[in-house]
């Protein structure tokens, strides 16, 4: 996977204000407000910034957190984890490995087999429904 780099201005021009705030400035959408937290359709969740495949509906579950939650990514090489000590908390941030878009955070309180809860902002994703053909 090749690295995608753009200037701040290029990101601002290609993303909505909300997408830019979340993906490039590490903002968070309010819980229970995102368009995908209740979605149960089959398909792939892609990065809104670069279109990389990140999560599958097969790995999505209702964590009760108010954000789309997944117990694993489609390929762990597509996600990068980094320490986040903001807001007086110690968390693990999840970013797109291709473009460094902030996606959300991962916690160790998810279901088996991984026991992970990737808590992801809907605004950082776009959904590609599984074709019925």
Residues with catalytic roles: 119
Q: Tell me the three state secondary structure of residue 123.
A: helix
Strands 102-107, 117-120: pairing kind? antiparallel
Q: Is 121 exposed, middle or buried (0-12, 13-18, 19+ CB in 10 A)?
A: buried
In angstroms, the CA 100 to CA 96 distance is 5
What residue has token string 């053909």?
133
Rounded alpha-carbon distances, angstroms, from residue 75 to 1, 18, 34, 56: 11, 26, 24, 10
């Amino acid at each position: 996977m090749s690295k995608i780099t753009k200037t701040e201005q290029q990101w601002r021009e290609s993303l909505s204000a909300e997408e830019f705030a979340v993906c490039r400035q590490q903002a968070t959408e309010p819980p229970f407000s995102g368009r995908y937290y209740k979605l149960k359709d089959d398909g792939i969740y892609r990065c809104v910034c670069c279109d990389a495949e990140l999560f599958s509906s097969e790995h999505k579950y209702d964590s009760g957190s108010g954000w789309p939650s997944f117990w694993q990514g489609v390929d762990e090489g597509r996600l990068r984890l980094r320490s986040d000590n903001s807001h007086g908390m110690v968390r693990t941030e999840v970013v797109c490995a291709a473009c460094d878009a902030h996606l959300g955070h991962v916690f160790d309180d998810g279901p088996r087999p991984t026991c992970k809860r990737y808590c992801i902002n809907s605004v950082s994703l776009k959904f590609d429904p599984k074709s019925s053909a």
